[in-house]
Amino acid sequence: MKTPLFKLFVFFCLAISFTACQKKVDLNNEIAEKRTGLVTDKVYPLEGNEVSAIILPKSDLPHSKLLNFYGHKVKVIDSVCDEYLKSTKKVDISKIKDGEFIFDIGNSKFGIASITGFRKINAGPKGWWTHWGYNPYVSSEYPNVLFSEGDDGYVGNFLILVFSKKVSTFGFEVAPNATGVNLKCSVGYQENNTPIENEMFSVEQMVSSPSGARQIAVKSETPFSKVTIYLQDSDPGKRGLAISNIRYALAK
């Protein structure tokens, strides 16, 4: 009787040891993912991906609205044109790893800091899975994007961007996290990194996913260095926005 009991005891100990080791491996993997900031089990948009179309037909969308400009001379550029592309430089995000969480983009000549942070998402079925939009509303139909998600997984409904140098022109493309809904995107511009009450002017534009991303760009005679992007929150379960094709022109 001693031998079978002894074997059973040994088997029980091995089973406990294996379970403990597996838990340790899982914990190490979780820590490693948090350190690298890589996303392995999500596709974006996070909402509606089981029931929504990947691409929708092209449709006419309303123009952007310039609001509260208080005498500032501002030109809104809500479609892609040669003048805008030739007069601005694009912020390169191609070298950022897919899924990486970051606070800063750009280089030594011009940088953008996100107070809330964002996550780099590549285009494709395992990244930003829907169609982005159509020209001339956007410059590319399947771009890589920066998503308003923190390193703790929290999805915010806004991005606060602070520039290392003042600009006279700044633009980006934006789409919501949720699919199948039209949401209002409001963008506020400030001369300095001051409280949001010191807004110079703002722009509003309707956006949607899929196929409803829109460019929002401005050229201002008064240079500015802070931009706040806010997406209407009609449903707490459909938070989040993505931006892409960020372009700028430094103030003289």
Question: Per residue in 57-79, pLDDT tens?
Answer: 998 889 999 999 888 999 999 99
Over residues 107-139, the pLDDT tens digits come to 999 999 998 899 999 999 999 999 999 999 999
For 182, list phi and psi in degrees, rounded to 5: -95, 125
Over residues 142-194, the pLDDT tens digits come to 999 999 998 888 898 999 999 999 999 999 999 999 898 899 999 999 999 98
Q: Is 32 helix (H, G, I), strand (E, B) or coil?
A: helix
d(CA 252, CA 234): 40
